[in-house]
Structure 1
Amino acid sequence: MSRTNAPETDPDAGLDAGLDAGRGDDPAPLSAAEWSPRTLAAQAMGHIDPVTRAVVPPLHLSTTFLRDADNAYRSGFSYARPDNATVREAEGVIAALEGAQAGALLFGSGMAAAAAVFSALSPGDHVVAPEVMYWGLKRWLRQEADRLGLAVDFVAMDDPRAVRAAIVPGRTWLVWAETPGNPLCTVTDLAGVAEIAHAAGARLAVDSTAASPILTRPLEHGADLVMHSATKILNGHSDVVAGVLAAARADAFWERIVAIRATWGAILGPFEAYLLMRGLRTLPLRASAQCAGAQHLAERLSDHPRVSAVLYPGLPDHPGHAVAARQMRGGFGFMLSFRVVGGEAAAIDTAARVRLWKRATSLGGVESLIEHRASVEGPTTPCPPDLLRLSTGIEDPDDLFRDLDAALRAAHA
């Protein structure tokens, strides 16, 4: 039929009809209670775009939204500072992976997520935090806690007796843990610390960045909040800076954190959330490969003549191995550290001689990184000067070991 002789029709009618015809049989979003984390992540909870039926959630960039005729916002969106549909999609996947009944909140960085927790406390509150923790947050607490009216004590979080002794009855409001601890790979007994915190009327928040929900779900062990630097293994591609909080329950403290993110404008941007969603879909596969690689390296480095100690909870002689085996599943993490025979000079020289490993700060990416942490953290670091931290990527573990072996043997003591 000639197009010039065709009857006049709406040019979008065919598209609309096709979309309408398929909407009735679109699959429902996946239930976290029914499916495994690997399936939930791979299918991004099974959401199908209702307009195009795309299997990849769309990127929503709009900063403002149309009001209804009566001035209401029945779509649930009014402005981009407190909320965004793309951000909600990524938050939903993370909440499902963590088993977070109250949901999850994405922030512009891991530091922004952590700072929101401490900012939600009240002046006069007491906090117990670990001696071994992400150095940026520890530095922030030392600089900012007084301004917030908070008292902070740093303790050996892997020693329940030290945690119990640090609690101030009636005043301690938050216990902050990090496991495995960065960069010394300390292990915190989450169930034990949760019991201590709750007995004193305090909440437990856990930085689980170095584990990911694929290995550890802190909320299952009694934690009230879990935090991640989503920059790391959740995204996995070293191209997004993000942070996330997930909560066991929607109580007044969680609502305060929600309000802080909204009013302070700390939400993650939609493009970053879109990239993060891409990373989340392969998280279980990447985590499995990276943990296997870290375990392989830890075992081989343990027998290396130029290595004096390996810090990795997957080794049976690690002081936290039994606890880690109880609360981690599918591996012991992608981060490990080791100490070099010959001291600081030999460690720095080793890092200078690698070819595959990248001398860069971060964790959890698909590329393997090496770093002399004492140089980064400065004079207050708990790191021995002969320590190198590794973030194992997805490369061939034998190649990674050969590169380290050659660098260790060539380094000058």
Structure 2
Amino acid sequence: MTGFATQQLHAGSPTAHVTPRALPIYLTAGFVLDDFDSAVNHFSTGDGYSYTRVANPTAEAVEQRVAVLEGGAEALLVGSGQAALAVTMLGLLRSGEHLISASSIYEGSRGFFVENLTRLGVETDFVDEANEPAAWERLIRPTTRALFAESITNPKNEVLDISAIAAVAHKHGIPLIVDSTLATPFLVRPLEHGADIVIHSASKFFAGHGAVLGGVIVDNDTERIAYFRDSVALRFGPTPSPLNAFLINQGLETLSLRVERQSENALGIARWLEQQPEVQSVDYPGLESNPFYALAQHYMPNGQGSVFSFTLGGGVDAARSFINALDVFTHMTHLGDVRSLVLHLATTSHNLRTDEQLEKAGIWPGTLRLSIGIEYLPDLIDDLDRGLSAIRRGSAAAG
């Protein structure tokens, strides 16, 4: 008879083989090695599992699903979208080398390039006209190792001409990396248009409910992504929790349903906003008036996304009145949620930018970013009208 201290650790360990329909959560730091020789084989070949930082069955199932959805050979799941960007860039770039990025990108990505990569000796140049191949071509050097852009930009909702920029990259033997978080593979699969690597913040549309963090890298070059996995992610350790992997997988199972509804809602809202006198501009490529409309129809005929910005004519005061009057929209910094979200960019996510930089990025004092959810469209429009009514009341009181 073993003692209590031994029993509380070892009694009742599951041994029966079962096949659950839902993805099991392997919430464990390590895995039992069957015998001496199986341990030798694992550490020689990599087959099987030993430690969750190296591989975990729950995370692996998510990787396989995302790779199929993106049309890639393999995927790597990491702890956040920022980790996906960092692992990719650290796997491609060394000190003294050069990166070219579109200038209209997520602020966290821009900060990583200009602050963190610079400290490692990597220089970044930015392209303002992201769909002008010649603009990229002019910046390419012998040390350039990657081009980076977003399929749909955050926050301006500009659409990337993926094939055109991929042609420039391949002419010089350089990979094109596309952050496709805002599009998801339901709307566009960048690898099919010539991109070499696709990254996602899985915290957004993949998970869908704003509950967990995660990031994914998808690649068609199995040797390259093996290096990302074994020599970068393994060493830096941005390991996703198996529980988070499970929840991301749950979200993936309804991805198309949510993104389709969110895109339909976004188009309806963009059309409504475009008609309101308090609104100066609406940056949504599903609108016929938008300069990216043709590209959006080419690359994303099934929907043009659900994250976009619009600008109120009354500046910061109008933005404050608008946001404070909303009931259905949630005021927070997140994207891709089933709930609709709103954020004033100049005073939050872009508050470290100078006025000149904000103007260059097309972010004005009255610019707001919306992330449209799956609510009933008339309720969302009523809520936005409530915000505009608050602006009207404020203007009447001031006048």
TM-score (norm 2): 0.88
Q: Secondary structure at the match of 1:71?
A: helix
1:92 aligned residue: 64
- The 2-side partners of 1:363 and 1:387 are apart by 16
Q: In the alignment, residue 27 of structure 2 is paired with which amino acid?
A: L
Candidates 400, 404, 407, aligned match of 2:380 = 400
- The AA in structure 2 aligned to 1:162 is A
Aligned runs of 1:338-349 on 2, under 5 Å? Answer: 338-349=310-321
Mapping for residues 192-211 of structure 1, pairs under 5 Å:
192-211=164-183
Partners of 2:306 and 2:372 within 8 A in 1:
yes
| Structure with the higher fraction of residues in helix conformation | 2
Report the 3-state secondary structure (helix = DSSP H, G, I; strand = E; otherwise coil) of the residue aligned with 1:333. coil
Q: Per-residue deviation at 1:287? A: 0.6
Give the counterpart of 2:85 among 114, 125, 135: 114
Q: Which residue of 1 aligns with 2:289?
A: 317
> Quick one: which amino acid aligns to residue 175 of structure 2?
R
The aligned counterpart of 2:225 is 254
1:61 aligns with 2:61: no
Give the secondary structure class of the aligned counterpart of 1:213. helix
Query: 2:76, 2:225 within 8 Å by CA — same for their partners in 1?
Result: no
Q: Distance in 1 between matches of 2:159 and 2:382?
A: 29
Partner deviation per Cα, 1:139-197 (whole Å, 9 max, x = no partner): 121111222211100112233332222222x2211000112110011111000000011
Q: Which residue of 2 aligns with 1:388?
A: 368
Partner Cα separation in structure 1 for residue 301 and residue 258 of structure 2: 15
Tell me which of 322, 325, 332 is aligned to 2:304.
Answer: 332
Q: Which runs of 5+ in 2 are unaligned?
A: 1-14
Root-mean-square deviation (Å): 1.6
Quick check: 1:158 aligned with 2:124? no
Shift of the alpha carbon at 1:379?
Answer: 4.1
Contact 2:63 2:76 in 1 (8 A): yes
Q: Closer, same or farther in 2 for the Cα pair 1:329/1:53, shift >3 Å?
A: farther
Contact 1:172/1:200 (8 A) holds in 2: no
Deviation larger for 70-79 or 110-119: 70-79
Counterpart pick for 1:104 among 56, 59, 75: 75
Describe the SS at the equivalent of 1:205: strand
Query: Pick from 176, 189, 192: which aligns with 2:161?
Result: 189
2:140 is the counterpart of 1:167: yes
Q: Deviations over 1:288-315 (max 9, x none)?
A: 1000000110111111111111001111
The one-letter amino acid of 1:163's match is W
- DSSP-derived class of the 2:308 partner: strand
Structure 1 runs (4+) greater than 4 angstroms displaced: none
- Give a deviation string over 1:209-243, Cα, whole Å, max 9, x none: 11001001010011110000100011100001111
Aligned to 1:81: 53
How high is the TM-score relative to the length of structure 1? 0.85
SS in 2 for 1:399: helix
Tell me, in whole angstroms, the C-alpha distance in 2 between the residues paired with 1:69 and 1:268: 28
Letter in 2 for 1:248: N
